[in-house]
Structure 1
Amino acid sequence: MSLIGKVTLLVLGLVISVQAVSSNPLLREEKFFRNISVGEKSGFVKSQRIELSPGFSAPTHSHPVPTFGVINRGVIVYQEEGKREQVLKKGDTFFEPQNVKIIKFINNSNEVAAFTVFYIVEKRLSPTIHID
């Protein structure tokens, strides 16, 4: 099984919903960090809980690493460049492929939306977001 496959299984076993309220438009809280290695490859898994205020719209962006997430609260409108728009609700998961533009990531609800995101990072890379 590949490094991403093994880490994906690890990530799916770690998803925990945490509830909190925030008045900030965007709140990030690091929840998990673990160094990993499979064969000769090494890196880490990093998890954050992110909250978005009602109506918050993230700018067009991409990640230099594979990114997995699960919606904990609210409704998110999500769209990758060249693909159809999706509406994600509590319990739904999403995958942002490496270096693919995310053109919509919008809290489409009247409450704070929250999701947990996992970054799968090879040692030589950073999970830093790229904003267009």
Structure 2
Amino acid sequence: MKTLWTASGWAAAAALLAFLAAFGASSSDALHRWDDLLVEKYSQWSQREVPSDIVVIGIDSRSLAELNSWPWPRRHHARVLDFLRDASARHAFVDIDFSSSSNAQDDALLAAAFARWNRQQVILPLFLQATSGSKPGFP
């Protein structure tokens, strides 16, 4: 009698069984609990001392109320960058969405403030936004 199960047949059956087991486990709460536990343990094991010379400057509700607008004119961000530079800050991470329109004078003030910094000292996030009719993804 001819053997029905070849090596490739066994491999396909094993792959299907592994897929079904993984699919079943991924939809169960048990796997999510294990995942949460592993993430928590990893966070505990990977903790390290944070340098004490880091300062976070945030935009809070009081700041928003004082300037009474959002987005803020770019001249305000330029003043903050100049203040940090004059205070001998070594780096500035600027996490502000500048995609809204502005006026040419404010744009020039912000560009000049960035230009006064060394390029390696200022960190800006990457922000991708699809325009109408364009495909999502990287340019």
Range class of TM-score, shorter chain: under 0.3
Higher share in strand: 1
TM-score normalised by the chain length of structure 2 = 0.23
Higher relative contact order (CA 8 A, sep 6+): 1
